[in-house]
Structure 1
Amino acid sequence: MAPKFVQYLRGDQKAPGERKLVQKLDFFILTFCCFMYFLNYLDRSNLNNAYVSGMKEELNFKGNQLNLINTVFTVGYTIGQVPCNIALYYVKPRIFFPTCMVIWAGLTMVTATAQRPQDIMAIRFFQAIFEASTFVGTHYILGSWYTERELGKRSGIFTASGLAGTMIGGFIQTGIHKSMNGRHGLSGWRWLFIIDGIITLPVAIYGFLLFPDTPRNTKAPYLSADEKTLAISRVPKVSERTPISWTFLKHCFSTWYWYFFVMLWIIAGETESFSTNALLALYMKSHPTNKYSVTQLNNYPTAVPAVGIVSTLFWATLTDFMGGKRYLVGYWIGITGVVTSAMILASPYNTSVHFGAYYWAGSVYACQATFFAWANDVLRYEEDSLRAVVIASMNMGSNVVNAWWSIVFYGANFAPFFTRGMWAMIAVSIAMMIWTALLVWMQMRTEKRREAGTTATAIVGKESNITGSQDKEMGGGVSKKV
């Protein structure tokens, strides 16, 4: 098994020049997409970092206004999902992604001028619309270039880059707070948003110049004509239809793919709630006895995305190696959600148990890479526009629920114990395991039908060839007699 695993890690491309092609794709696609997602998540996590680093007091936050800001962001992010993925059909990704980056970088810097929580709400709404292109758009692009055996590992690397942004954001805020707090009359948390926006711009320029678009429309100067042809041949040839038409919409909603994968990610999105709602930071900020410094509030929670990075890369690589068994992650996160919630409910005043449970819960982040790779795998033989809309709808559906879920179950006013949220986590974790089993059953049924259809087509083709050969022979015999 070990030699096979080493071969898998190195790549198992068979066609001449295929390994070189994949190495080029890895460099130019993954570097841009990972830096883009890193900066995207750095910005999102830094709102929470700023909140515990002086923004709460300076802007006079009340009650659950932080959750309301996150909800407003979620609404904008939800609105942008499907339009952003459809836009990739009409605007080249090489233009679309960097343009969105420039806009949300500018809005990030504008956040430094906020004087009230309401100012941040307005900024974050529009910022979210343009940030919506990053996650689902990249998964669509990855599915356009990579094979089933390559996709999970690349999706994992991409997702891990976002988690790295969350993790590093705490350290960056700590450094800025120490070195720049009060400089030119600006608080450290304001400098954080300014610096976030500035470091985003060089990555956008890189994307304008070198991102390769998709196999069928790429004009990347570093890909030869043979490599472009090879890239097209590596993925199944599927039918195309415009994503903006009633015919397409009817087709989209008549398939099981949309319903099952959207529901999968709605449930999975809520199993990430401990981490995405920064519960550990809020727990520390509202701890009944312990008082934590700004440095501790920013640094201690970074272990959560660190665990997420390890878990994401582990499961993405393992499920690739095992032939795409992405469903294993569904069972893992279901068990994790039940156990970590039970730990916290059973020991409400044990700080060590809380830290351990929240750190372990970070492993649930693995579902981001594997579930979107799962959707790409299953939809590989369907038309591209359906795959794009399903992937976008998954994230849209999750964010529609997140818009109210975080307020109802994980509002800052429920800190430090979030008892209601613990019971909600147990419920969605059990639902996760059940839905995973149902989706596996649907996938197996579809694959059997596809295989049966392929076999029937092959038999018909063979019979046609035999009949044609017989007719030719009979025709030849008649001509000799005449």
Structure 2
Amino acid sequence: MLQESPEVHVDPKTEVIRKEPKRKWVSYIWDTFDKSPEERRLLFKLDSAILTFASLGYFIKYLDQININNAFVSGMKEDLGMYGNELNYMQTCWTVGYVIGEIPSNILLTRIKPRYWIPAMELLWTVLTMSLSRCNTPTQFYVLRFFVGLAESTFYPGMQYIIGSWYRKDELAKRSCIFHTSSGIASMFSGYLMDAVYRLGGRGGFKGWQWLFIIDGVISLPVALSGFFILPDVPEISSPWYLSEQEVELAQTRMTLEGRKNREPYTKSKLKKIFTSWHIYLLTALYICFNNGAAGSQPVFQQFLKTSEDPVYSISQINSIPTTTPAVQVVTTLAYAWISDTVLKGSRWPPIVFGACVNIISYVSLAVWNIPIGWKWTCYIISGAGYGLSGLLMAWAHEVCSDDNEERSLVIGSMNELAYVFQAWLPLIVWQQVDAPQYQKGFITVTVLSILLIIFTFLVRLLHGREEQDKRYVLKIIQRHPH
């Protein structure tokens, strides 16, 4: 249940945000169930708009991002003669575009209206994705994949910034994690979709893997267009058609009670404060270790099945069996969110450490390689438990940086961008296509990064705990000596 900060006195008209002596059990199912009717109605509208658009948008973004892997193992490799590291280069071109666009985009979101910028970029990457179906050489893929990455760079950090602008601490992890589960669902759907469209090969002069890009674009188009109508801006400048003036005021008050600051100009003193704080450096390092501490962007399971000689797997099986990994991701991501928000009362670090430990177990085993085939399958599948930490890390960053809107935006953008800076070059060294399926360098690298993830998690917990303690100490002094 939401609780007022002790230093804030709520105006009678906002008494709908009330403090209750005991949390109701129904709030453990969903956090709006023990809130006032006014706040419950507001959150229902926000969830219907923000979560629906965010989840569908991230679904199509991830679908358009990883479809290259399914196309590669479904005939594109042979048709285009991609027997070197061409797949690595295609992924790197996408990552370079993604890296270039992220921080500038998130800075723009603190100055312009997100409801125009984000859907416009969605529309652009939809058109570019469909254009991939006309590529006949790896070079053409390199160019288009760069611009797809550039357009997609606006979405994930941008939507995390918007989610962090509307929800409070007891609501934040669930929304961030529900948003993030869309990537796992998209990974599963892309495998099933490739299995289905592979049978379209030859129709309209397109091969099966080319149809994948066309159909991905067709799915993406209505989602991109819907954003212009349902995406709200941040509370202090928001006026969506589905919220009344009173509901917008209530949303603004909720953020005031949470200590989340409104938009302010960038100044030299603000930039100095941001770049002399540990927030941007440690939170970014934390996210780098998470984002690169898994084989999520590499078709490792597919490659293992594709090179199997006993038994030999069909194209359908190569695309559908590995969907078990993102299925584990979806389940564990949602479990992390509910456990963190409810059972652990907003504590983020235990699920992060758990996910990192699953990574270590899985990838140490795969690095050894000569292990029982049943355990090898298990490691590929349960590694999905390490993919679902992004929402928790982003929620944690919103809370750590709640005192400064511009810092929050810049840190969220920096976390995602620097993680993908590493993803631009690291796979070229440790996930080389020619090493498939025994990516020993990659498995060892993921293990090391997972250990670092645990170390940085405890360090952030320690430093943030000290900051919160200092704030409480200052608050007590102010309360004792108000003048």
Instruction: Verify same fold: TM over 0.5.
Output: yes
Q: Which amino acid in structure 2 is aligned with residue 150 of structure 1?
A: E
Q: Give the match for residue 413 of structure 1.
A: 434
Cα drift, residue 238 of structure 1: 2.3
CA–CA distance in structure 1, aligned partners of residues 262 and 336 of structure 2: 32
Q: Give the match for residue 265 of structure 1.
A: 287
CA–CA distance in structure 2, aligned partners of residues 177 and 385 of structure 1: 46
Cα drift, residue 10 of structure 1: 3.2
Q: Give the match for residue 120 of structure 1.
A: 141
Q: Is the 8 A contact 2:110 2:409 kept in 1?
A: no
Q: Give the match for residue 251 of structure 1.
A: 273
Cα drift, residue 289 of structure 1: 4.5
Cα drift, residue 435 of structure 1: 1.3
- Within a 5 Å distance, the mapping from 1:329-340 to structure 2 comes to 329-340=351-362
Percent identical residues: 34
Q: Is the 8 A contact 2:161 2:409 kept in 1?
A: yes
CA–CA distance in structure 1, aligned partners of residues 129 and 261 of structure 2: 39
- Within a 5 Å distance, the mapping from 1:35-114 to structure 2 comes to 35-114=56-135
Q: Is the 8 A contact 1:287 1:416 kept in 2?
A: no
CA–CA distance in structure 1, aligned partners of residues 261 and 179 of structure 2: 25
CA–CA distance in structure 2, aligned partners of residues 314 and 239 of structure 1: 31
Cα drift, residue 347 of structure 1: 4.4
CA–CA distance in structure 2, aligned partners of residues 346 and 169 of structure 1: 30
Q: Give the match for residue 249 of structure 2.
A: 229
Q: Give the match for residue 393 of structure 1.
A: 414
Cα drift, residue 36 of structure 1: 0.4
1:164 to 2:188 alignment: no
CA–CA distance in structure 1, aligned partners of residues 233 and 73 of structure 2: 40
Cα drift, residue 377 of structure 1: 1.6
Cα drift, residue 220 of structure 1: 0.8
Could you say what secondary structure the match of 1:234 adopts?
Answer: helix
Could you say what secondary structure the match of 2:456 adopts?
Answer: helix
- Within a 5 Å distance, the mapping from 1:7-26 to structure 2 comes to 7-12=27-32, 14-15=35-36, 17-26=38-47
1:202 to 2:225 alignment: no
Q: Give the match for residue 158 of structure 2.
A: 137
Q: Is the 8 A contact 1:337 1:425 kept in 2?
A: yes
CA–CA distance in structure 1, aligned partners of residues 338 and 99 of structure 2: 29
CA–CA distance in structure 2, aligned partners of residues 449 and 428 of structure 1: 31
- Give ranges in structure 1 of 5+ residues lacking alignment: 465-482
Could you say what secondary structure the match of 1:405 adopts?
Answer: helix
Could you say what secondary structure the match of 1:366 adopts?
Answer: coil
Q: Is the 8 A contact 2:430 2:441 kept in 1?
A: yes
Q: Give the match for residue 357 of structure 1.
A: 379
Q: Give the match for residue 242 of structure 1.
A: 265
Could you say what secondary structure the match of 1:60 adopts?
Answer: coil
CA–CA distance in structure 2, aligned partners of residues 269 and 77 of structure 1: 14
Cα drift, residue 253 of structure 1: 0.6
The one-character-per-residue Cα deviations of 1:131-165 (angstroms, maximum 9, x if unpaired) are 01111111111110000000111111100112111
Stretch moving more, 43-52 or 419-428: 419-428
Q: Is the 8 A contact 1:104 1:131 kept in 2?
A: yes
- Within a 5 Å distance, the mapping from 1:294-305 to structure 2 comes to 294-305=315-326
TM-score normalised per structure 1: 0.91
Q: Give the match for residue 394 of structure 2.
A: 372
CA–CA distance in structure 2, aligned partners of residues 350 and 412 of structure 1: 24
The one-character-per-residue Cα deviations of 1:70-92 (angstroms, maximum 9, x if unpaired) are 11111111111111111112321
Could you say what secondary structure the match of 2:251 adopts?
Answer: helix
Cα drift, residue 64 of structure 1: 1.3
Cα drift, residue 288 of structure 1: 5.5
Cα drift, residue 16 of structure 1: 5.2
Pick closer, same or farther for the CA change 1:33–1:237 going to 2, 3 Å.
closer
1:447 to 2:459 alignment: no
Could you say what secondary structure the match of 2:241 adopts?
Answer: coil
CA–CA distance in structure 1, aligned partners of residues 224 and 364 of structure 2: 44
CA–CA distance in structure 2, aligned partners of residues 10 and 345 of structure 1: 40
Q: Is the 8 A contact 2:184 2:327 kept in 1?
A: yes
Q: Is the 8 A contact 2:357 2:450 kept in 1?
A: yes
CA–CA distance in structure 2, aligned partners of residues 182 and 67 of structure 1: 27
CA–CA distance in structure 2, aligned partners of residues 455 and 16 of structure 1: 33
Q: Which ranges of 4 or more aligned residues in structure 1 deviate by more than 6 Å?
A: none
Cα drift, residue 239 of structure 1: 5.9
Superposed CA RMSD in Å reads 1.7
Cα drift, residue 418 of structure 1: 1.1
Q: Is the 8 A contact 1:60 1:116 kept in 2?
A: no
Q: Give the match for residue 169 of structure 2.
A: 148
CA–CA distance in structure 2, aligned partners of residues 426 and 237 of structure 1: 36
CA–CA distance in structure 1, aligned partners of residues 466 and 209 of structure 2: 53
Q: Is the 8 A contact 2:286 2:453 kept in 1?
A: yes
Cα drift, residue 62 of structure 1: 2.7
Could you say what secondary structure the match of 1:54 adopts?
Answer: helix
Cα drift, residue 433 of structure 1: 1.4
CA–CA distance in structure 2, aligned partners of residues 238 and 338 of structure 1: 38
Q: Is the 8 A contact 1:348 1:417 kept in 2?
A: no
Cα drift, residue 240 of structure 1: 4.1
Q: Give the match for residue 220 of structure 1.
A: 240
1:187 to 2:210 alignment: no
The count of aligned residue pairs is 457
CA–CA distance in structure 2, aligned partners of residues 336 and 446 of structure 1: 30
- Give ranges in structure 2 of 5+ residues lacking alignment: 1-22
CA–CA distance in structure 2, aligned partners of residues 277 and 5 of structure 1: 42
CA–CA distance in structure 2, aligned partners of residues 327 and 159 of structure 1: 17
Could you say what secondary structure the match of 2:448 adopts?
Answer: helix
Q: Which amino acid in structure 2 is aligned with residue 368 of structure 1?
A: S
Cα drift, residue 354 of structure 1: 2.0
Q: Give the match for residue 18 of structure 2.
A: none
The one-character-per-residue Cα deviations of 1:276-316 (angstroms, maximum 9, x if unpaired) are 21211122223354432110111011111110000100001
Q: Which has the larger radius of gyration?
A: 1
